[in-house]
Every structure is written in C-alpha cells, then in structure tokens.
C-alpha cells in the first residue's frame, strides 16, 4: 500500500425527512444563497421543504445551473455572492449543481482570474462555506472536494478540487430520488459503477481491503439494479443505490492505490464536443479502454471477472473478455449504450479529441500508458 492522507469531514444526514435538519445545520445568522438547476426541485417538493426549513432566514436564490455546469452561468452566481454578501451557499440538486456551487464558492474568494482555477490549476486556499441537499445519486460530489466545470465557447470540460470545497454537510434523502426520470437513474448507476472501476481496475497493488470495498459497491449496484428495474418506487432500494453512489467516490476505496481516471478524461471530451450525458460517455469509453489496457490490468481484470461476475473458467484472455462483456451487458440492461454510433457520432468526428491529447502530450492511466495514440485506438474500438 502506498502512503496516503485521508480527510473527509462532511457531515452526512441520510434518510427520510432529513431536509428539515437544514434548520440546525446552517447557523441562523448566515446569509444563504440557494443554488439549483432547471427547476425539477419545484415539482418534486424539495424546493418547498428547503424553504420551509429555512423560513425567516436571509435567503437568496440562483436557479438555472445546467447539467455540465457552465462557467458563464457560475460567474453570474459569483457576482450574486459578492453583491449580496452571501456567507453560505446551499446546493440543492444533483452533482452538476453541487459541482457548480463548489466552483462558485471558490471563485468568490479567489483573487485573480477564476478560470485559472480550472485551466492553470491555480491553488484554491479558501471558499465560501457550502452544504448540499443531494437529490441524484451518481457523482459522489457530496462527499468529495472535486468539481467538473464546462465552457461551451471553447468546448472545454475541466476539473478542480480543493479541501476548502468540502461540503460542510450533505443531506441525502432517498425519497427525493423517487421522481427521477429512468434515464437519470440509469446514468447515475453507471456513473457510480465506473467511479469504482477507475479506482479498482488498475495494476495490482496489494491493497486487499480497498479491493473488497470496491467489489462490495459493484456487487451492491448490480443487485440493486435488478431490484430497481422491477420495483422503481421502493424506498429501500433507492436508499441502497444512493449510499452506494456516495461510497463510490468519497475517496475511501482509492486510498493508498494507483488510480486510472483515463476513461473520465476521454469521456469529458465526448461530452464537451457532442453533449453526450457524462455517464454515457464513460460507458462508451470504458470497455475499449479495458481491452486496450488488459496487459497492465491483467491480475485485477481476472479478479474482477471472478469476484464480481463469477467467471473463472477458461484461459486468462477468455475470462477477461467475459468480464468486460458482462460489464457491457450490465450497462445495456440499464438502457445505456456502449458505442459512439449509438450516439450518432462517427469516428472521424473524434479527431479533435485525439489532437487535443496529442497537443498536451497526455499520458493518462495508472501507469501513464494512455497517450494520444492509445486514445485514438480506444475510440476506434468504441466506434
């Protein structure tokens, strides 16, 4: 195991009716900005629950944060934070809203050009305190420091992370997820599943507990997927999915081990260029990437096939291939396709992605084995 630091101070309030706890979680004299997305929270009752919990407070609202939150939108929110002297930002929605709020919170306290936080990895030393009511189990953003922000005019989708951007609290009420469209439920499960694989399917590490914890999340997501497809309105199932998505990216399964994340780097480019849902880009890239990297990841791919999918008969190549096919079938079961052509994207259209990685001299993956040439091969195999 490699040396590591782990620190995750997010206070989690999980379960039915927990939105009411906002009244205690946010001190009464804070000047609060409530940030949300396209307005689904007004239909499913979450907006009303938040307003009720914070009745009588100084409370501003900022709606309209997009899926793949846009830099220009967030900069407008930064101006609100400054002009209204906001002291606490509450993200109400899914990972995009929360990622947007992390950036708003950092940018509002940043001296200099906020875009540098994303493009130049400028250090974020402070942020406006923030919390979240998370209504979409997927990104794990509720218990980590990371955010991914898009800029439509330059077709960029860039990430940053800073300890100052940890939510002070995360309210997770599985009831808020019962009204999600099927597509978002499916995307969320695939996103969480691949978050685990990015940390787990790597070169071998001698970190058996992290492996078991990762496999536990994968097995749970697989089991709960069958349950939720049969019984989409069951609270207990939604609770298990929500908690699995949080555990997938709270940092714990990734401590002390090398991590990959190349699927995400390539997937972000597919979203930036073609607007494909984040999880769906990952489902396109991952299978081809695993096949391309099967020498590096051989031991872990065999372990994955055996422990997660129960496949161990046959030579190594056969077992690994069967494990990857089971993964693809799992995504298909959720209605999530695994080919670029399913998204009406031709291979030729992906040339700018390869060019961008080439220009950056990119070396991705846990052994830095994925360069622009590898990206081209992976995208071709995913065509």
Distances (CA, A) of 93 to 41, 138, 176: 7, 11, 10
- Residue 383 CB, shortest distance to a copy of itself, in Å, is 36
User: Which of 165, 379 has the CB closer to a copy of itself?
Assistant: 165
Spacing of C-alpha 98 from chain mean position: 11
What are the tokens at 158? 């860039």
What are the tokens at 99? 């990622």
User: Which of 17, 352 has the CB closer to a copy of itself?
Assistant: 17
Q: What is the rounded distance in angstroms from the CA atom of residue 324 to the CA atom of residue 278?
A: 20
User: Which of 23, 159 has the CB closer to a copy of itself?
Assistant: 23
Nearest Cα to Cα of residue 56 among 23, 84, 88:
23
- Residue 6 CB, shortest distance to a copy of itself, in Å, is 4
User: Which of 188, 287 has the CB closer to a copy of itself?
Assistant: 188
- Residue 60 CB, shortest distance to a copy of itself, in Å, is 28
Residue matched to tokens 């080919």 = 339
Beginning with the edge strand found earlier in the chain, give each strand of the sheet holding 88-93 in spatial order.
Answer: 58-62, 31-35, 88-93, 130-134, 169-172
- Residue 7 CB, shortest distance to a copy of itself, in Å, is 4
- Residue 235 CB, shortest distance to a copy of itself, in Å, is 9
Residue matched to tokens 């078991």 = 212
User: Which of 240, 296 has the CB closer to a copy of itself?
Assistant: 240
CB atoms within 10 A of CB 135: 29
- Residue 145 CB, shortest distance to a copy of itself, in Å, is 14
- Residue 165 CB, shortest distance to a copy of itself, in Å, is 16
Task: Write b or e for each residue in 71-101: b if 16 or more Cβ atoms lie within 10 A of its Cβ, otherwise e.
Answer: bebbeebbebbeeeebbbbbbbbbbbbbbbb
Chain residues in the site for a copy of itself (CB under 8 A): 1-18, 206-209, 211-213, 215-217, 219-220, 223-224, 236, 239-240, 243-244, 247, 252, 255-256
User: Which of 207, 334 has the CB closer to a copy of itself?
Assistant: 207
Residue matched to tokens 């991952």 = 286
User: Which of 57, 307 has the CB closer to a copy of itself?
Assistant: 307
Nearest Cα to Cα of residue 186 among 235, 117, 137:
137
CB atoms within 10 A of CB 285: 27
End-to-end CA distance of the chain: 37
- Residue 238 CB, shortest distance to a copy of itself, in Å, is 10
User: Which of 215, 293 has the CB closer to a copy of itself?
Assistant: 215
- Exposed/middle/buried for 346, CB within 10 Å: 0-12, 13-18, 19+? exposed
């Amino acid at each position: 195991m490699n040396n590591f630091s782990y620190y995750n101070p997010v206070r989690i309030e999980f379960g039915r009716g927990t939105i009411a706890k906002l009244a205690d979680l946010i001190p009464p004299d804070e000047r609060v900005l409530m940030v949300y997305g396209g307005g689904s929270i007004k239909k499913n009752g979450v907006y009303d629950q938040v307003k009720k919990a914070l009745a009588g407070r100084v409370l501003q609202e900022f709606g309209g944060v997009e899926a793949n939150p846009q830099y220009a939108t967030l900069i407008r929110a930064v101006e609100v934070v400054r002009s209204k002297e906001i002291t606490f930002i509450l993200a109400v929605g899914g990972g995009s809203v929360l990622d947007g709020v992390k950036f708003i919170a950092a940018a509002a306290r940043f001296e200099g050009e906020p875009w540098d936080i994303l493009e130049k990895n400028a250090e974020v030393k402070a942020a406006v305190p923030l919390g979240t009511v998370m209504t979409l189990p997927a990104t794990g953003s509720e218990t980590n420091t990371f955010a991914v922000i898009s800029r439509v005019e330059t077709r960029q989708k860039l990430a940053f992370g800073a300890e100052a951007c940890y939510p002070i609290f995360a309210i997770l009420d599985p009831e808020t997820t019962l009204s999600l469209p099927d597509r978002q439920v499916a995307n969320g499960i695939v996103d969480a599943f691949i978050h685990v694989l990015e940390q787990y399917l790597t070169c071998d590490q001698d970190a058996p507990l992290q492996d078991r914890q990762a496999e536990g999340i994968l097995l749970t997501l697989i089991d709960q997927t069958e349950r939720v497809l049969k019984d989409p309105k069951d609270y207990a199932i939604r609770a298990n999915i929500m908690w699995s998505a949080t555990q997938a990216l709270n940092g714990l399964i990734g401590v002390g081990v090398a991590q990959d994340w190349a699927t995400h780097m390539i997937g972000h480019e597919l979203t930036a260029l073609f607007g494909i849902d984040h999880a769906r880009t990952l489902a396109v890239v991952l299978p081809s990437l695993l096949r391309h990297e099967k020498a590096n990841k051989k031991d872990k791919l065999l372990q994955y096939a055996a422990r997660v999918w129960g496949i161990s008969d046959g030579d190594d190549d056969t077992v690994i291939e069967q494990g990857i096919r089971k993964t693809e079938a799992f995504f298909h079961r959720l209605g999530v396709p695994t080919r670029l052509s399913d998204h009406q994207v031709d291979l030729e259209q992906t040339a700018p992605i390869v060019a961008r990685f080439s220009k950056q001299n990119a070396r991705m993956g846990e052994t830095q084995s994925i360069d622009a040439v590898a990206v081209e091969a992976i995208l071709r195999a995913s065509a």
